[in-house]
Structure 1
C-alpha cells in the first residue's frame, strides 16, 4: 500500500512540474528590410584592377 501511495505522489508531482504544453513554441522571425544599392562602384573597382594589371606590362 505504501508503494502505491508513493507512486501516486510521484506521478502527481511530475505532472505538476511540467509548465505549459509539450508543443514547440512559435517564434516569429524579425523582418529585415535591405535597401538596394547601386552597382556603379563595381565599375570603378574593375577599372582600377585593370590599371594595376597593365602597369607591369607597360613598364617593360
Structure 2
C-alpha cells in the first residue's frame, strides 16, 4: 500500500512539474541606436578655424 501511495505521489509530482504554456514566448528585439554622422563633419571645424585666422590676420 505504501508503495502504491508513493508511486502515485511521484507520478503526480512529475506530471505537474511543467512550467510555462504552449504559447510561444514574446521576445522583444533589442533597441540599437546609431548616431548619424556626415562625411563633411570632420572638415567644418578646420575650415572655420582657417577663416578665423585669416580674418584676424586681415584685421591687423
Bin of the TM-score, shorter chain as denominator length:
0.3 to 0.5
Structure 1 length normalisation: TM-score? 0.41
Structure 2 length normalisation: TM-score? 0.41
Which is higher, the Rg of structure 1 or of structure 2? 2
Could you say which structure has the higher helix fraction? 1
